[in-house]
Amino acid sequence: MTNTLLITGGASGIGAETARRAATRGYRIAINYRSRDAQAKAVVADITAKGGQAIALPGDMANEADIVRLFAETERTLGPITHLVNSAGIDPSRARVEDYDAATLHRLFTINVTGLMLCCREATRRMSTKNGGKGGAIVNVSSMAGTLGGRKGASAYAATKGAVDAFTKGFAREVAAEGIRVNSIRPGAVMTEMTEGRLNDTAVRTAVAASIPIQRIGEAHEIAEAILWLLSKEASFITGAMLDASGGGYVI
């Protein structure tokens, strides 16, 4: 059976690297993006140039109708979805609790938590043997921030990732007997488009690297390889797990 992998937030960072590497393993790839049109099409071009099959599909994880359409279009073009990586997420500017803005918090949780959960809903409706599917594998991209509350000013972001981990554990048990494996991966500090604004500052990058036991910032390809392992048959007895890909964690 040909595997079809849908990656939300697949135009950049960890999502894009996962898409490129998954394509070399024979997956047909659907790359979801919200605003990075040129980047998404560039990833598709990279994949097709090497003989792979990929499409780019716009859609906002804060919009339920977009999510429903995304899954329908993926299946219409590439066939049944067998794998899902929920990589879409936002990390707004750092803020202390007394400076929280309700609208910012609402969008943060809508994208990082509700959108992810709705994607899992759509995947389950298609993958579950209870619903006539043939099973599948899902990886939710969480964060080490969810384990310790994040670095200073990142408590709201950390809360969304804590929610992702809690949901992943419960969801995995719910669908384990229906052929679906669900795991989350918790990256530490990784250089991506989302983090480069902070990590390109030499002083910040040095301080962050010094707080990581392995003494360096991670790279997107290192996280992508871990995701692909969780999706693979080699991880067939693993579900409901949280894989820390963080260089040993961090000390705040």
Which residues are catalytically annotated?
A: 157
**DSSP notation for the chain:** ---EEEEETTTSHHHHHHHHHHHHTT-EEEEEESS-HHHHHHHHHHHHHTT--EEEEE--TT-HHHHHHHHHHHHHHH-S--EEEE----------GGG--HHHHHHHHIIIIIIHHHHHHHHHHHH-GGGT---EEEEEE--THHHHT-STT-HHHHHHHHHHHHHHHHHHHHHGGGTEEEEEEEE-SEESTTTHHHHTSHHHHHHHHHTSTT-S-EEHHHHHHHHHHHHSGGGTT--S-EEEESSS----
| Rounded Cα–Cα distance for residues 123 and 6 (Å) | 10
